[in-house]
Structures are given as structure tokens and as C-alpha cells.
Homo-oligomer: A and B are copies of this chain.
Amino acid sequence: MNQIKAYGSHSATEELKPLEISRREVLPKDVQIEILYCGVCHSDIHTARSEWGPAKYPVVPGHEIVGRVTAIGSEVQNFKEGDLVGVGCIVDSCRTCPSCGEGLEQYCENGMTGTYNSPDRISGGHTLGGYSEQIVVDEQYVLRIPTNLDISKVAPLLCAGITTWSPLMHWKVKKGHKVGIIGLGGLGHMGIKFARALGAQVVMITTSPEKGKDAKLLGADEVLLSTDAEMMKAHANSFDFLLNTIPVGHQVNPYIQLLKRDKTMVMVGAIEPIDPLHSGLLVTKRRNIAGSLIGGIKETQEMLDFCGEHNILPEVEMINIQNINEAWDRVVKADIKYRFVIDMQSLKD
């Protein structure tokens, strides 16, 4: 075992503070990664505070990890020391079920191993995430970062990025489609960038004229204020796809009415009950509501490569690890455009 520095917490109520944790030795198929940057995701907070059920403590959050390979196991084939790599939300899965076989490890039928707070298939303990100096991950779950990208901004692609990319791919969004992005935060802002790069006509759907302005700066072609009944009516039955990134329960019926026949609204933010859905709105135009969870490893690599080709990066605000508690307060208040990234060099201070 390998003792390293990290930031984490020992209970649902305490603030994050420096911890010492241990990582496994490098196994034959493992890649050891010095963590350079780690994104801050709202899931980190929900988990550490046991808001999604009781967490296993200590919790060391962080599943948007960018770093450099410092050692490899004897059987590693795809990475070498010095490579720039990423780790997202998944560090292992059963590797035998149909979903794993299809490269959809996020839907592993035996349960994917999350990057933190998951039962660890190898150590038997629970996983500890990227708010730390180093991580050791089986090479099959390690991503390659295109070297032309500004690596200080890449980290959020590994959760916010893939979570919005995967449904755009699965529902085959393409040039000419009218795509609505509902909600502008870490996920929504990536949705705008991706949909635009794919050639879609991108409409930001928001309650806030202020966010509408920001969305245009990010690449939205148009803004639809969901509070404006006239505008909503004018856009009824006109969307080919809706990506709903609102992170909490809400009234979905007004959005469903925006969809053309046979089209889909995908939920990627809320993972809780949503207000009563009017079934008639689905029936009368054969509309669909679906959900989508992050994305598989292969798809995540494809997204990173696409970002390399199109120079797509999240908008980030860099912090030192010592400011993490303040940053979390701001995430809870949605006071961030659009993602915090921790400069993990600060952990050495």
C-alpha cells in the first residue's frame, strides 16, 4: 500500500479537510496517475453529505480527474510513463455482462465501480476519488487526453462532458436538428457546446434572461424563456431533441409540449421524482421521455477525441484545494460559471 495525501471527510456533517489515505500498489494491469487537476461535481457534495443514502467514510470525492502516468504495471499495453490521462466516474465494472460487453460500463448489470464511495472489486474496501495526489486504475478505465487541449480545463469533460455527449450520440443529434438545452449549469453549458459543434440549431431553454445571454456567448443560437407562455407556444411541437439538465424535481409538462412527434426529452440532471407527468402529452404525439447516465469508456474516449479535434473545453474557475469548502457552498448556490477545477498541485502546499 501507498500512503498519499487527500482531502475528504469523516461524516456527513463535517467540512472537507486534509486526510492521509492509502492506494493499492500497482497491479500488472494498473496505471498509477499523479493527479494534476480534479473537477468539482455536485455529486461530490451529495455523496459526501450522505444525501444519496449513507456514504462510507472517509469520503474522498472527485471523479473528473486529469493527470500524468507515473508508473505502469507489467501487463499494461496502452499507456506509458508521462502520458497525459483522465479518469472519469467509472474505475471498474464486472466486464462480463451484456452492458460491459457493449462498452456501456455505466449500466453494468452487476454494478459499475464508481470512482469514489463504491465497493472496490479489487481491494474489498471502498473507492476514494480524485481530491488526492494520486490514483491507481486498471488501464481499461483510463482515458487518453488529446495533447492539444489546455489540460487545466479538461477535467469536467470526464463527467459533465460525457453526461451530455452520450445522449446526443445515442439519440443521433445531427446537423439541422433543433435541439433544446434545458437548464444552464455544468451540464447545460457543455450541452450547448456539443450540440453546436454537431451542427444543430441550439436553443437555450431557461427561466432566466441573464442565463439566456450567457448561453448565447457559449454558442446557443436562440433563447427560449420558459416563463414566457407566448414564446413557449410559438416553439410548441418544433424540437427534435431536448436535453434536460435541471438537477432537481420540476414540472416537465411544458417542455414535453415543445417536442415534435416521435421525439425525445432526455433527463440527465434530476435523479428524483419529477412532478406529475401528463401522459396525454406523450400519447398525442408519440413523444418519449428517457434518462441517460454518464457514458461508457469507449464513448468517453470518442468525446475527448472530438473535443481535441474541435478544441472544445468547459468554462472553469480554478481553485486551490484549501478553498474546497467555499467552492462547495457556491456549487450548492449555483454560483459558478460553470465548473470548479481544483489545481491539485495545491495539495502539496
Interface centre among A104, A109, A170, A285 (most CB of B within 10 A): A285
Quick one: CB contact mask for A275-289 with B, threshold 8 Å, 1 for yes?
111111111111111
Q: Is chain A's interface secondary structure helix, strand, loop, or mixed overall? A: mixed
Q: Identify the stretch in A39-47, A196-204, A265-273, A338-346 within 8 Å (CB) of chain B at 4 or more residues.
A: A265-273
A107 contacts B282, C-beta separation under 8 Å? no
Q: A107-B261, A261-B107 are in contact. Are A273 and B283 (CB under 8 A)?
A: no
Residue from B107, B274, B282 in contact with A291 in the complex, judged by beta carbons closer than 8 Å: B282
Q: Which of A246-268 contact B (CB under 8 A)?
A: 249, 261, 264, 267-268
Q: A107-B261, A261-B104, A261-B107 are in contact. Are A282 and B290 (CB under 8 A)?
A: yes
Task: Determine if A207 is an interface residue (Cβ-Cβ < 8 Å).
Answer: no
Residue from B107, B272, B287 in contact with A280 in the complex, judged by beta carbons closer than 8 Å: B272
A289 contacts B293, C-beta separation under 8 Å? no
A288 contacts B286, C-beta separation under 8 Å? no
A283 contacts B291, C-beta separation under 8 Å? yes
Cα distance, A268 to B284, chains bound together (Å) = 10
Task: Determine if A237 is an interface residue (Cβ-Cβ < 8 Å).
Answer: yes
- Measured CB to CB, the nearest residue on chain B to A282 is B291
Interface centre among A264, A267, A285, A286 (most CB of B within 10 A): A286
Task: Determine if A292 is an interface residue (Cβ-Cβ < 8 Å).
Answer: yes
Cα distance, A277 to B285, chains bound together (Å) = 19
Q: How many residues of A contact B (CB 8 A)?
A: 35
Determine how close the nearest CB of chain B comes to the CB of A193; give it in whole angstroms: 22
Cα distance, A278 to B281, chains bound together (Å) = 18
Task: Determine if A226 is an interface residue (Cβ-Cβ < 8 Å).
Answer: no
Quick one: CB contact mask for A230-246 with B, threshold 8 Å, 1 for yes?
00000001000000000
- A293: chain B residues at CB < 8 Å are 283-286
B282 contacts A267, C-beta separation under 8 Å? yes
Q: A271-B279, A279-B270 are in contact. Are A292 and B286 (CB under 8 A)?
A: yes
Q: Which of A32-77 contact B (CB under 8 A)?
A: none
- A264: chain B residues at CB < 8 Å are 288
Determine how close the nearest CB of chain B comes to the CB of A20; give it in whole angstroms: 34
Q: Add 4 more A-B contacts to A107-B261, A107-B285 (CB < 8 A).
A: A99-B261, A267-B279, A272-B280, A273-B276
Residues of A within 8 A of B (CB): 99, 104, 107, 109, 170, 237, 249, 261, 264, 267-268, 270-293
Q: What are the nearest 8 A-B pairs in CB distance?
A: A282-B291, A283-B291, A271-B280, A273-B276, A288-B290, A270-B279, A267-B279, A107-B261
10 contacts between A and B (CB under 8 A): A109-B237, A249-B279, A264-B288, A267-B282, A271-B283, A272-B278, A279-B291, A284-B291, A286-B293, A288-B288
